[in-house]
């Protein structure tokens, strides 16, 4: 479809449905995408001033045909035909978030900081910093978040005046409590692995648990919870940004993806394309559950990480063995060099004595 037709198609779809479909649960990416789209639609006369877009929710990774799908939560990229429009991040093609895809698609303006931060884990913001704009964004409306982003406050500590201005004084206290509780629980559920790494295997949901665990130097975070129906479980296993999940954990995730595949080809289990996450159900897919007991899943994850750690430890030993051979060779070469130097020294000393004797005789 040509660009002109694409825009006409998009506008028509929005006018007809006045609806966008997104994943269950709110995060900065879908909140800012919906807000930016609504603002753009009003400015371009697609929506009346008092009109709003209806937001429909689907499980993460799913697409509702016949609608504009904005941030599926599955990082599936964009696709578009006359019936269905999907606007989503696609990390493999350098599109970090749905808001970035939306901005590129409609050429709309949003603060740069939103584009930098949405759906990413900015390294310079610590979750222990309960005064940062990012930590507190979920406590305030999206208009305020955009205002904070314009002032580039999302990655900064807010002063008392700024907390007051955005109505976040109480929120900061609540956030501090969340962090304190999370640290306590993380300590309780952390397991040291034989290869020197550690993993949290938590039998309960810990708010902000994974990002706090990473900040505590833990590479992997697994959380298993009972499903809201009282039967079955949901779980998520995440790796620290910059790391990937162990191969056997990913393999297990992919096995579950197949096992829980729907007729339309989607699955209730999601393995992130960058191999940093396996998630089954949870806030973005609340109806899905795995038919397994909590204890069995905890044991399964425990065994997977122990197996991974043992293999990794063996690899470390093999590396050290190679290093030892290299160092031994270097030692042998230096022994030869030392002997050669000693021989040369003797030779030079001998020559020197001869010259001295010659001088005395003259």
Partner 1 sequence: MKDISILDNIFEIEENIKSNLNYIIKGRRLDELSDEELILLKELYLLINKQLENRIEFKKKKISDIREKISNIIYNK
Query: How is residue 1 written in tokens?
Result: 């479809």
What is the closest distance, in whole angstroms, from the C-beta atom of residue 361 to partner 1 in the complex? Answer: 19
What is the closest distance, in whole angstroms, from the C-beta atom of residue 318 to partner 1 in the complex? Answer: 5
Residue with tokens 């063996």: 314
* Nearer residue to partner 1 within complex by CB, 8 or 320: 320
* Nearer residue to partner 1 within complex by CB, 55 or 313: 313
Q: At what angle do helices 294-361 and 247-259 cross, to 10 degrees?
A: 160
* Nearer residue to partner 1 within complex by CB, 229 or 360: 360
Q: How many helices (H) and strands (E) does the chain have?
A: 11, 11
* Nearer residue to partner 1 within complex by CB, 1 or 341: 341
What is the closest distance, in whole angstroms, from the C-beta atom of residue 127 to partner 1 in the complex? Answer: 31
Is beta strand 233-239 parallel, antiparallel or unpaired with respect to 269-271? unpaired
Reduced to 3 states, what is the DSSP secondary structure of residue 254? Answer: helix
* Nearer residue to partner 1 within complex by CB, 112 or 339: 339
What is the closest distance, in whole angstroms, from the C-beta atom of residue 278 to partner 1 in the complex? Answer: 24
* Nearer residue to partner 1 within complex by CB, 160 or 335: 335
* Nearer residue to partner 1 within complex by CB, 104 or 330: 330
Give residues in contact with partner 1 (CB under 8 A): 194, 306, 309-310, 313-314, 316-318, 320-321, 323-324, 327-328, 330-331, 334-335, 337-338, 341-342, 344-345, 348-349, 352
What is the closest distance, in whole angstroms, from the C-beta atom of residue 322 to partner 1 in the complex? Answer: 8
Query: How is residue 360 written in tokens?
Result: 């005395």
What is the closest distance, in whole angstroms, from the C-beta atom of residue 194 to partner 1 in the complex? Answer: 4
What is the closest distance, in whole angstroms, from the C-beta atom of residue 188 to partner 1 in the complex? Answer: 23
Reduced to 3 states, what is the DSSP secondary structure of residue 199? Answer: strand
Query: How is residue 321 written in tokens?
Result: 């063995």
* Dihedral (Cα; 33, 35, 36, 40), 10-degree rounding: 130
- Backbone φ and ψ for 326, nearest 5 degrees, come out as -65, -45
What is the closest distance, in whole angstroms, from the C-beta atom of residue 219 to partner 1 in the complex? Answer: 18
Query: How is residue 353 written in tokens?
Result: 């004595």
CA 285 to chain centre: 18
CA 200 to chain centre: 16
* Nearer residue to partner 1 within complex by CB, 169 or 332: 332
* Nearer residue to partner 1 within complex by CB, 169 or 351: 351
Query: How is residue 239 written in tokens?
Result: 């790796």
Evaluate whether 133 touches 153 at the Cβ level (below 8 Å). yes
Left, alpha or beta for 60 (phi > 0: left; psi -120 to 50: alpha)?
A: beta
What is the closest distance, in whole angstroms, from the C-beta atom of residue 302 to partner 1 in the complex? Answer: 13
Is beta strand 79-80 parallel, antiparallel or unpaired with respect to 85-87? antiparallel
Non-local (6+) Cβ contacts of 239 within 8 A are 219, 220, 245, 275, 276, 277
Exposure letters 80-91 (e unless 16+ CB within 10 A, then b): beeebbbbbbbb
* Nearer residue to partner 1 within complex by CB, 169 or 334: 334
Non-local (6+) Cβ contacts of 320 within 8 A are none
What is the closest distance, in whole angstroms, from the C-beta atom of residue 328 to partner 1 in the complex? Answer: 6
């Amino acid at each position: 479809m040509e660009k002109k037709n694409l825009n006409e198609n998009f506008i028509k779809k929005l006018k007809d449905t006045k609806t966008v479909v997104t994943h269950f649960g709110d995060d900065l990416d879908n909140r800012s995408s919906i807000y930016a789209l609504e603002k753009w639609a009003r400015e371009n006369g697609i929506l009346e001033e008092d009109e709003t877009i209806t937001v429909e929710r689907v499980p993460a990774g799913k697409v509702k045909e016949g609608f504009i799908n904005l941030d599926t939560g599955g990082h599936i990229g964009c696709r578009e035909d006359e019936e269905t429009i999907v606007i989503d991040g696609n990390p493999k093609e350098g599109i970090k978030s749905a808001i970035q895809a939306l901005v590129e698609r409609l050429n709309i303006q949003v603060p740069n900081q939103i584009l930098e931060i949405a759906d990413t884990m900015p390294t310079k913001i610590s979750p222990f910093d309960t005064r940062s704009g990012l930590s507190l964004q979920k406590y305030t409306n999206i208009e305020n978040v955009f205002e904070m982003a314009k002032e580039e406050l999302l990655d900064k500590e807010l002063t008392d005046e700024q907390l007051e201005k955005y109505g976040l004084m109480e929120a900061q206290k609540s956030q501090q409590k969340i962090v304190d509780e999370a640290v306590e629980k993380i300590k309780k559920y952390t397991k040291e692995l034989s290869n020197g790494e550690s993993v949290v295997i938590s039998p309960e949901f810990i708010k902000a648990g994974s990002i706090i665990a990473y900040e505590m130097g833990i590479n992997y975070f697994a959380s298993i919870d009972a499903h809201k129906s009282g039967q079955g479980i949901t779980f998520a296993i995440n790796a620290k940004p910059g790391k990937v999940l162990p191969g056997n954990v990913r393999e297990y995730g992919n096995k579950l993806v197949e096992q829980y595949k729907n007729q339309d080809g989607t699955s209730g289990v999601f393995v992130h394309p960058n191999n940093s996450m396996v998630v089954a159900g949870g806030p973005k897919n609340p109806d899905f559950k795995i038919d397994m007991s909590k204890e069995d899943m905890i044991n399964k994850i425990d065994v997977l990480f122990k197996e991974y750690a043992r293999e990794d430890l063996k690899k470390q030993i093999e590396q050290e063995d190679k290093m030892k051979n290299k160092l031994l060779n270097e030692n042998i070469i230096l022994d030869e060099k030392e002997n050669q130097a000693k021989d040369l020294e003797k030779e030079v000393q001998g020559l020197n004595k001869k010259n001295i004797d010659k001088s005395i005789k003259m």
